[in-house]
């Protein structure tokens, strides 16, 4: 099976360049879990088994917590015979539906990683991002907390989300940055400078919301949008998300069609 968009090496794994974001699997406002788990479950299973997507991205804040549990329930057996990369993120709390707040205290980050390990059913997180830089906590204290967990073997690789070149450079003083994940699409192109900075440093750049939260797909421009991202450089990884198996098939087909 030819992986969608080809392959890329990230966090020590060679995976599909087209990833799957899972925020939508928690339903409206990414809060709790839909009463009907069939659609979200099929999205995960078909992504891996049918479409050859081997890079799955999640966060403890999705649900919160419920999407990590769903991934474990659906993909635990798939991980035994497929080289999957399951990336998660910590450092964001959910006070309520459609509410998000950064929380980067080192003790909290440690507790969050332990929770993700338990929910995903693993002894080590493949790739763990700092979900957001908490302005109330020194940035390198947050990065350092994840570095300690990496030295303990609980995290294999560390990534950063929603950061610019200056934060990337500061973090590289403490850790090898395995990936940077920022919002980028044909609709939102504010982060092109960070894409170039990551290219110079040899850091994979993961583009979340690559379809402009669905706007570009509704216009019939999904293939164009995904191809535009891939053409920015071999280090760029589009990370679209959906909770509908049919929509997932349409995305993969649109990329193949160019």
Residues marked active site are found at 62
- 145 class by beta-carbon count within 10 Å (0-12 exposed, 13-18 middle, 19+ buried): buried
Q: E-assigned strands of 96-218?
A: 101-102, 127-130, 158-161, 177-183, 205-208
Please give the Cα distance from 23 to 191 (Å, whole number). Answer: 21
| Three-state DSSP class for residue 8 | strand
Please give the Cα distance from 159 to 23 (Å, whole number). Answer: 18
- Contacts (Cβ under 8 Å, ≥6 apart) of 21: 57, 58, 208, 239, 240, 241
Element housing 9 (H / E)? strand 7-10
Give yes or no for a contact between 8 and 47, defined as CB atoms under 8 angstroms apart.
Answer: no
| Three-state DSSP class for residue 103 | coil
- 99 class by beta-carbon count within 10 Å (0-12 exposed, 13-18 middle, 19+ buried): exposed
């Amino acid at each position: 099976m030819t992986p969608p968009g080809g392959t890329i090496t990230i966090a020590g794994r060679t995976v599909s360049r087209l990833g799957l974001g899972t925020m939508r699997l928690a339903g409206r406002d990414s809060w709790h879990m839909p009463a009907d788990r069939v659609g979200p479950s099929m999205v995960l299973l078909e992504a891996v088994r049918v479409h050859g997507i081997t890079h799955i991205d999640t966060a403890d804040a999705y649900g919160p917590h419920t999407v990590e549990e769903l991934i474990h329930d659906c993909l635990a057996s798939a991980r035994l015979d497929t080289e999957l990369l399951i990336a998660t993120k910590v450092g964001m709390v959910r006070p309520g539906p459609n509410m998000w707040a950064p929380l980067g205290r080192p003790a909290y980050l440690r507790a969050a990683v332990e929770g993700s390990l338990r929910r995903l059913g693993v002894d080590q997180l493949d790739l763990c991002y700092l979900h957001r830089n908490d302005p109330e906590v020194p940035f390198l204290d947050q990065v350092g907390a994840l570095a300690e967990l990496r030295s303990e073997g609980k995290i294999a690789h560390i990534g950063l989300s929603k950061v610019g070149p200056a934060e990337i450079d500061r973090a590289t003083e403490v850790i090898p940055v395995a990936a940077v994940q920022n919002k980028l699409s044909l609709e939102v192109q504010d982060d092109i400078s960070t894409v170039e900075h990551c290219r110079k440093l040899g850091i994979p750049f993961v583009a979340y919301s690559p379809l402009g939260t669905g706007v570009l797909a509704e216009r019939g421009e999904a293939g164009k949008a995904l191809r535009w991202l891939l053409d920015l450089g071999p280090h760029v990884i589009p990370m679209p998300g959906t909770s509908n198996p049919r929509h997932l098939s349409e995305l993969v087909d649109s990329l193949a069609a160019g």
